[in-house]
Chain A
Amino acid sequence: MSTATRTPGRTDGTPAAATAPAPGTGSRLLRWWPAPVLLLLAVAPYSALPLPGLLDGPVGSPGSLQLLATCLMFGALATGYDLLLGRTGLLSFGHALYFAAGSYATNVFLLEAGLPFAVAAVLGLCSGTVLALLLGSVSLRVTGIGFSMVTLAFAQAGSLLVSRNPGGWTGGEEGRAAPAEALPSWLVGIDHTANLYWIALAYLVLTLGVVRWAVRSPTGRVWEGIKENERRVEVLGLRPYGFKLTAFVLAGALAAVGGLVHLLLTGGSTPQTTTSDFTLSLLVMVVLGGSGTRWGPMVGGILYTWADHRLGDLAGSGAVAGLPAVLRVPLSQPLFLLGVLFVAVVHLLPGGLARLPSRLRRIREENR
């Protein structure tokens, strides 16, 4: 997979030029659109607004908040993963490992060492980050598809280790529930779903902020250079290894935070989060939304998670059950629909959903 000869992003609509605001007060105000959206998301738990079709109950109900929080968490996780895929051009198949490490390590510190939650959380995050540092420094010694394979191998090793249940720490196939008595009381129970929702929202804001800051930093510019043409970065006298490792560790640390949020959200660690399928679903989210864009991976993650949950509900509903088998069977499988949608997006919409507005605009201008 040599990407060196291609110059992506330059030929099909330069992103910088497309998103640069035209002068004028209106567009200057428009630049602040994330603020009201964030405000709306922050006050969502107080809302009793029903969104039929989108959510099962009113927005503020625990069930809906749980789903929304999961969506936000995956949006953040996909954004962090894009730091590797879309910003540095590293195709890692092992991102699930650092997510699972954050979740499992925190859980083990809580259960086995009996540490207070705050200490366990910090240690869990450190474990995930150190793991990313160790394995990243090893995997990045090979490039291209070799890197993808080594990360896949490490993640698979982690997955096998978790399902082997060493010392009874990971709980094997069943996973392990977090001890409710060791967690702060405001994080446990269905009455406190709103708190978990705010934590997930905070994680999303944190990830978006960190990614934006990192990409705009001098290191971020080198990442972009590595993505476009690694050889040229070397010729300029920079060693790509250190920069790639920085991206890998930063993404790993963000994933570990995500694992912690997931632990709180679901009340335990599950082995499903260690599998290569989990990383592949992250890949699907990022590409669906638009790799290498600011909002794309987040949109992809939210949309994918929401669709995965809601399509499952749809399959159980009467509307689908009454259909003939030819239609009912594919519709009852969320992964089938998402897989097909993904293939369609890769074919028809290079650049993902984030490119959709600029594409529509171009079509409209051509028709004028």
Chain B
Amino acid sequence: MSTIVLLTMTGLGLGALYFLIASGLSLIFGLMDVLNFAHGALLSIGAYGTWWAASGNLPGAGPGGGGFVLAVLFGTAVGTLAAVVLELAVVRPLYTRPREQVLATVGVGLAVPALLSGVWGSDARTFPGPEALSGTFGLLGADVPVNRLVLIVAAAVVLLALRLFLGRTRHGLVVRAGVEDRAMVTALGIDVRTAFTLVFAIGGCAAALGGALGGLYFGSVDPRQGTSLLIFAFVVVVTGGMGSVTGAAVAAVVIGLVQQFANYYTAAGLGDLAVVVLLAVLLLVRPRGLTGRLA
């Protein structure tokens, strides 16, 4: 029983991490038809920003208590800024050429991890975290690491915030309408490009937060982390139906749980394999994803 609880919590934590990356990826793809290959880089920027601040380089920030919260905020802010710069400088000039937009993000996705490993070395760095978050807590007889809970809570908050933003605000309305039919929104006289920058900022914010908290989950940061998570985030996006945030949340939970349970009960590494095979099978059976939307 305790094993199942632990596996479930770990799977949910991993799913939460996937959701933080996939929500932005899904919105960006839904609105702009751009598969953002630089999204893993945004996560890495968030992780390194937090690590840098928490290692005592930012005044006031540190590995414990309020200092760590400040470090996470700093990392998230840097990631958001990077996403906005990415959209304005790299993606926007290629507005009329969707395929080139994807290629440009591929280039950024190659360059940023290389730069990170140039500055801080290609080896994994130990991630500092507060004492309160590195322990475990008892749940139904299992000792569950607290960082799983932190990730799950963060993802739930992001999901709620995104639902509120998309459902209750005017900007959210424009984004939703843009996902449905971009040409029509433009024809109604609304400048969708503001929404482009907005979804990049939201996506970058969520991914960077995922990077900051993922550092707690993995206990270390390395330059390749974002890229390896990106593949599973793609799986989540496609499974959940591109452009759907709720779909991404459901898919992230399913993928995280399947991966953890398969990895534990079969051979290690087979869970990862199961997940990618699952994607292939799903796409062939239902080319439009779980929620039936494929832009």
Contact = CB atoms under 8 A, between A and B. Distances in A.
B280 interface: yes
Contacts of B119: 329
A343 B98 contact: no
Interface in A246-299: 276-277, 280-281, 283-284, 287
Contact of A156 (B114, B231, B270, B283): B231
B164 interface: no
Interface string B93-107: 110011110111011
B294 interface: yes
Contact of A138 (B108, B234, B280, B287): B280
Interface in B206-264: 227, 231, 234-235, 238, 242
A342 interface: yes
Interface in A300-353: 329-330, 332-336, 338-340, 342-343, 346-347, 350
Interface stretch (A125-133, A143-151, A188-196): A143-151
A346 B283 contact: no
Contacts of B110: 277, 280-281, 284, 335-336, 338-339, 342
A154 B284 CA distance: 13
Contacts of B90: 343, 347
Contacts of B93: 347
Interface stretch (B60-68, B72-80, B153-161, B271-279): B271-279
A287 B104 CA distance: 10
Contacts, number: 127
B279 A149 contact: yes
B80 to A, nearest CB: 21
Contact of A339 (B97, B107, B235, B277): B107
B135 interface: no
Nearest to A154: B280
A160 interface: yes
A141 B284 contact: yes
Given A336-B114, A342-B107, A150 B284 contact: yes
Interface in A70-121: 91
Contact of B279 (A3, A153, A163, A329): A153
B124 interface: no
Contacts of B99: 1, 3, 91
B180 interface: no
Contact of B111 (A141, A161, A335): A335
Contacts of B242: 145
B103 A336 contact: no
A306 B204 CA distance: 34
A212 B247 CA distance: 45
B118 A333 contact: yes
B167 interface: no
Classify the secondary structure of B's interface with A.
helix
B118 A347 contact: no
Q: Which of A156, A284, A342 gathers the greatest number of chain B CB atoms within 10 Å?
A: A156
Contacts of B37: 280
Given A149-B283, A160-B276, A333-B118, A277 B106 contact: no
A259 B30 CA distance: 37
Contacts of B273: 157, 160-161, 164
Nearest to B287: A142
A139 B283 CA distance: 9
Q: Which of B29, B110, B113 has the most CB of A within 10 A?
A: B110
A201 interface: no
A343 B104 contact: yes
B100 A350 contact: yes
Nearest to A164: B269
A160 B272 contact: yes
Nearest to B224: A277
Contact of A153 (B115, B117, B235): B235
B188 interface: no
Nearest to A277: B227
B134 to A, nearest CB: 29
Contacts of A340: 107, 111
Interface string A1-18: 111000000000000000
Contact of B106 (A1, A152, A283): A283
Nearest to B289: A146
A281 B37 CA distance: 13
Contact of A146 (B117, B235, B270, B283): B283
Interface of B: 29, 33, 35, 37, 90, 93-94, 97-100, 102-104, 106-115, 117-119, 227, 231, 234-235, 238, 242, 267, 269-270, 272-273, 276-277, 279-280, 283-284, 287, 294
Given A149-B234, A333-B117, A339-B111, 17 more contacts: A1-B99, A145-B294, A149-B279, A150-B283, A157-B273, A164-B267, A164-B270, A284-B106, A333-B114, A335-B110, A336-B115, A336-B118, A339-B107, A339-B112, A343-B111, A346-B104, A347-B90
30 contacts: A1-B99, A91-B99, A91-B102, A141-B287, A146-B287, A149-B283, A150-B284, A157-B276, A160-B272, A161-B273, A164-B267, A164-B269, A164-B270, A164-B273, A277-B227, A280-B37, A329-B115, A329-B118, A333-B118, A335-B111, A336-B111, A339-B109, A339-B112, A339-B114, A340-B111, A342-B103, A342-B107, A343-B107, A346-B103, A347-B93
